[in-house]
């Protein structure tokens, strides 16, 4: 797709999201938990539409993978792999199909970039929702805090953990491919 079409699509989505946000906040109120969840989904949607033009990244201190994220024992204990299987085997896969190696996405480096961008989108959406959770905590709305924490875990935390695990697997694959290429070139 041409760059100007991506820009047009992004501007259209921004316009539609802005209009619906303004209309909804008038109806349900600016402090509504539903509006906070909607804003979180808007951020995720905008990040996805903007990806051809701008890929989000994690803050530098959080970007590097830790050994426990690469090994997978913690992922098994937290059922992150089961979450990943749920994503792969349901229509949820199409929310970001670019993070899976396939015939149309065969370059592991590009898939890794997509995974990192998706991880960053969920991170920034989590930051946004965390501020609202703090606001509800301050107000003493404990049931709202509980529900929003559940949303935070399912919509942001588990996707982040899963995408970090995917990045670790892709890093190993890329390293093996480079090593094989080096061996073939040195013959």
pLDDT digits (tens, 9 = 90+) for 27-72: 998 889 999 999 999 999 999 999 989 999 999 899 999 887 777 6
What is the arithmetic mean of pLDDT over 13-18? 96
CA separation, residue 116 to residues 31, 65, 102, 122 (Å): 31, 11, 17, 10
58-109 pLDDT tens trace? 998 999 998 877 776 787 888 888 888 888 888 888 878 777 777 766 788 8
Number of domains in the chain: 1
What is the arithmetic mean of pLDDT over 140-147? 96
Total Cβ atoms within 10 A of residue 85: 12
- The two counts, helices (H) then strands (E), for the chain are 9, 0
144-164 pLDDT tens trace? 999 999 999 999 999 999 999
Question: Would the CA dihedral through 170, 173, 179, 185 be positive or negative?
Answer: negative
- State the Cα–Cα distance between residues 16 and 63, nearest whole angstrom: 32
Contacts for 12-16 with beta carbons within 8 Å, 24 or more apart? 13/45, 13/46, 13/49, 14/46
Q: Which residues have C-beta within 8 Å of that of residue 93, sequence separation ≥ 6?
A: 87, 100
DSSP code per residue over 56-125:
----HHHHSPPHHHHH-HHHHHTTHHHHHHHHHTSGGGGGSGGGS--SSS--HHHHHHHHHHHHHHHHHH
Range of the domain at 55: 3-185
Q: Which residue has the tokens 């090994």?
A: 71
Q: Is 2 helix (H, G, I), strand (E, B) or coil?
A: coil
Give the lowest-confidence range in 10-19, 140-149, 174-183: 174-183
């Amino acid at each position: 797709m041409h760059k100007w079409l991506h820009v047009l699509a992004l501007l259209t989505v921004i316009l539609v999201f802005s209009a619906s946000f303004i209309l909804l906040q008038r109806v349900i109120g600016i402090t509504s938990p539903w509006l906070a969840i909607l804003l979180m989904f808007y951020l995720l949607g905008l990040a996805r539409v903007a990806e051809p033009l701008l890929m989000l990244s994690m803050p530098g201190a959080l970007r590097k993978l830790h050994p426990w994220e690469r090994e997978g024992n913690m992922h098994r204990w937290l059922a992150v792999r089961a979450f990943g299987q749920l994503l792969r085997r349901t229509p949820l896969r199409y929310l970001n199909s670019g993070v899976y190696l396939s015939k149309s996405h065969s370059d592991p480096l590009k898939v890794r970039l997509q995974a990192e961008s998706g991880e960053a989108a969920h991170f920034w959406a989590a930051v946004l929702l965390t501020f609202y959770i703090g606001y509800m905590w301050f107000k003493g709305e404990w049931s709202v805090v509980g529900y929003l924490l559940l949303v935070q875990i399912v919509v942001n935390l588990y996707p982040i953990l899963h995408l970090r695990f995917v990045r670790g697997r892709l890093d190993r694959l890329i390293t093996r491919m480079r090593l094989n290429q080096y061996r073939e070139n040195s013959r």
